[in-house]
């Protein structure tokens, strides 16, 4: 069945945008199941903000040092520095199959 241009509603700005036949074919080729939810302008805004990483200054619940974490901590839950987190969850070595 040939693809036909379709109008789709952007979930951010509520503007209609065209989901072209070429884009639909591309999505199908990549195995994508869902249609796009954001217009090109809103997608560009989201990608601009994506590169910025949240850094929150906290005190480690285990050792008490000042550190930063890449998320906003949830109230009432302990926050650990990289060293203390590594003691609790040691990294497992990655094995490569030959």
The domains of the chain are located at 6-50, 56-88
Predicted pLDDT of residue 79: 92
Q: How far is residue 59's CA from residue 37's CA, in Å, rounded to a whole number? A: 39
Distances from the Cα of 14 to the Cα of 10, 50, 53, angstroms = 5, 21, 27
Q: What is the pLDDT of residue 27?
A: 92
How far apart CA 57 and CA 70 sit, in angstroms, is: 9
Alpha-carbon distances of 71 from 19, 27, 88, rounded to whole Å: 34, 32, 19
pLDDT (tens digit per residue) in 22-57: 999 999 999 998 999 999 998 888 776 655 667 889
- The predicted pLDDT at position 46 comes to 79
Report DSSP state, residue 63: T
Contact present, 25 and 3 (Cβ < 8 Å): yes
């Amino acid at each position: 069945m040939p693809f036909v241009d379709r109008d789709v509603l952007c979930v951010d700005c509520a503007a209609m945008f065209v989901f072209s036949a070429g884009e639909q074919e591309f999505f199908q080729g990549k195995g994508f199941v869902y249609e796009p939810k954001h217009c090109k302008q809103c997608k560009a805004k989201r990608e601009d903000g994506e590169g910025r990483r949240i850094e929150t200054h906290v005190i480690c619940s285990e050792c008490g040092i000042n550190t930063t974490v890449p998320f906003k901590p949830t109230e009432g839950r302990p926050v650990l520095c990289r060293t203390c987190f590594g003691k609790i969850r040691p990294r497992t070595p990655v094995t490569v199959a030959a």
